[in-house]
Structure 1
Amino acid sequence: MAKSSRCVSSEAGVDDLRARVQERLDGLSRAEQKVARYLLNMPQEQLVFATAEELGQHTGTSDATVVRTARKLGYSGLPELKREAGRALVTTVAPATRLEQRLASIGPDLERAMATVFTEARDELENTLAALKLEDVRTAVSLLSHAREVMAFGVGGSELGARHLALRLNRLGRRARFVGSTGFRLADDLLLLGRDDVVVIYLPGRALPELEVLLDHAQVVGARRILISERRLAKQFAPQLDVALYAAGGAGRVAAESTSALTLTDLLVHGVATLHETQAVETRNTLTSLRERLLRK
């Protein structure tokens, strides 16, 4: 008999966690061992939505013990542990099933949903900030500020970040365009890419088939390349990138996976604005004037 998607996701998600627990269990306190065993036996579709406080209550420990356990298992914290579980769900569970799991896990309790959404968003932003390197941010800002044109690429959940970058840069008076094409249609958008351009690629936690072609072509024409994604993809494509910026996120969560990417985009746009202050102010005045005229029509 074929295994259900829930069973498959659970098996795939616990492999890394099981290895970490087996390797480090003896170095944990009794309370931490209790948490580790609970995490190991917990269904992954429930783990990705659990807060440190809830896990502390279920194990008879505390939220601080839960966080400490995650770190002693080699994760940066509970959010990273949950993201690894969420990544397993992405590769093994259909989107509709993940939605069912989210609804079943949190239920109709809006108070719990509110706490979950804001906790996830805060955790993602804190993890993104902790992983950011100032020198990488400066490099990205410099590339964007000197670009003839910026091509912001993103599809699916990553489209929002790419559209946001293109819009914000346009409002500074900088040339930018959003590209969300895939397959053959992407070829037409790549034709306009030139030597003095910059490609900013927004990716979720998985690579797209188009990514290799996009990066290869950008490299051939001499366009600079920035990736905003998770660490695994940044390492995988590092030789083809000028800079990679980490944006925490992941599927199987209530908070949007684009939360960190959008915030990081705002940081980059602010950096560009400070280098082109006069142009930014003049463009904003023009935008305001055009809006006022349109409102009078």
Structure 2
Amino acid sequence: MISFDWDTTSMSPTQVKIANYIQKNTQHVLLSTENEIALAVNVSIASVSRFWQAVGFHNFKAFKKKMQTTLEVSPAGKWKDLIDKVEKQSSLRFHTLEAAVHHLHQTMEYVSNHAFQKAVTLLTEARKVYLYSPGPSQGLATLMHYRMSRFDCDMSIIQQGGSEIFEEMIHFKKTDVVVIFGFVRLLPEAKVILDHAKKIGYHTIIITDQVISDFAKEADVVLFASRGEEHAFHSMIAPTFLIENLIISIGMQHTDENMTRLEDLSHIRKKYVNELPR
């Protein structure tokens, strides 16, 4: 995997979109034309042509030449083999299978072990964990809240939006962690949470589908989860995969204590199975 250390602060929103597409689809870009890139990102060909100079290349040809000498071995063959194996196991065909495998593979490629472990440590050691999950990410926050609460983690989903979010923010402490789901873009509320952290000192974790973004350096940890291109159907398979792995890793931090809690849960269920059947 090649990580382009491009300064997005000086880029226009259109250039950030192009940069993000190239970062996530480098192998495919090398086989594309500027017109195909423009169509994929939904920008003009002129915008793509101007982009190369913005990142230090004379033109697209110069970019290709540089990348062809430095690009790592393509992972495409690996996940294509996996797709073939899965498809042979069943007579059923699901049109989202290839996309799902690609999203999972891309997520595993772009989430560094260091960033993942740092997120686990912050979440495990936090006094309280707040989850800001607008729109379709609400389900991810609910899953995270439900599972992590079993490990004696104090969890809270931020329900308010707009200026009402200040009612939650006054409770943020230095020892807290705020998890922000920022798919496609960060909402104004998320930007306020990140800015407020500079004063209070609480930690922030962003879970996003943007490899390159202008907010990457604003949080303590940024974790990538692939959901597809901006103009395509956005899958939640990879984000769910990432959240589940966070939950498992957090549960493994204090195994004995967590196992005791789960055993207590089982005992309570058995005791009241007739009153409250599952």
- TM bracket, shorter-chain basis: 0.5 to 0.7
- Is 2:183–2:210's contact at 8 Å kept on the other side of the alignment? no
Q: Give structure 1 regions of 4+ aligned residues with deviation exceeding 3 angstroms.
A: 36-39, 41-45, 250-254
For the residue of structure 2 that corresponds to 1:231, the secondary structure is: coil
Taking every aligned residue pair, what percent have the same amino acid on both sides? 23
Q: 2-side partners of 1:293 and 1:220: how far apart?
A: 48
2:165 corresponding residue in structure 1: 186
Q: 2-side partners of 1:41 and 1:183: how far apart?
A: 36
Q: 2-side partners of 1:114 and 1:39: how far apart?
A: 32
Gaps of 5+ in 2: 1-13, 23-29, 42-66, 77-91
Normalized per residue, the structure richer in helix is: 1
- Would you say 1:202 and 2:181 are equivalent positions? yes
Task: Tell me the amino acid that sits aligned with residue 155 of structure 2.
Answer: A
Q: Do the aligned partners of residues 41 and 257 (structure 1) sit closer, same or farther apart at CA in structure 2, a change above 3 Å counting?
A: closer
| Residues 101-120 of structure 1: pairs in structure 2 closer than 5 A | 114-120=93-99
Gaps of 5+ in 1: 1-11, 21-27, 46-70, 79-112
Which of the residues 146, 151, 164 maps onto 1:172? 151
Aligned residues: 209
1:283 corresponding residue in structure 2: 261
Q: 1-side partners of 2:189 and 2:156: how far apart?
A: 18
CA deviations on 1:24-81 (whole Å, 9 max, x unpaired) are xxxx8xxx6xxx4698399769xxxxxxxxxxxxxxxxxxxxxxxxx97x9x889xxx
Q: Do the aligned partners of residues 281 and 184 (structure 1) sit closer, same or farther apart at CA in structure 2, a change above 3 Å counting?
A: same
Q: 2-side partners of 1:203 and 1:266: how far apart?
A: 18
2:224 corresponding residue in structure 1: 246
Which of the residues 252, 263, 266 maps onto 1:274? 252
For the residue of structure 2 that corresponds to 1:196, the secondary structure is: coil
For the residue of structure 2 that corresponds to 1:177, the secondary structure is: strand
Task: Tell me the amino acid that sits aligned with residue 283 of structure 1.
Answer: R
Q: 2-side partners of 1:287 and 1:206: how far apart?
A: 39
Q: Do the aligned partners of residues 41 and 138 (structure 1) sit closer, same or farther apart at CA in structure 2, a change above 3 Å counting?
A: closer
Deviation at 1:238, TM superposition (A): 3.2
Q: Do the aligned partners of residues 294 and 185 (structure 1) sit closer, same or farther apart at CA in structure 2, a change above 3 Å counting?
A: farther
Q: Do the aligned partners of residues 131 and 287 (structure 1) sit closer, same or farther apart at CA in structure 2, a change above 3 Å counting?
A: same
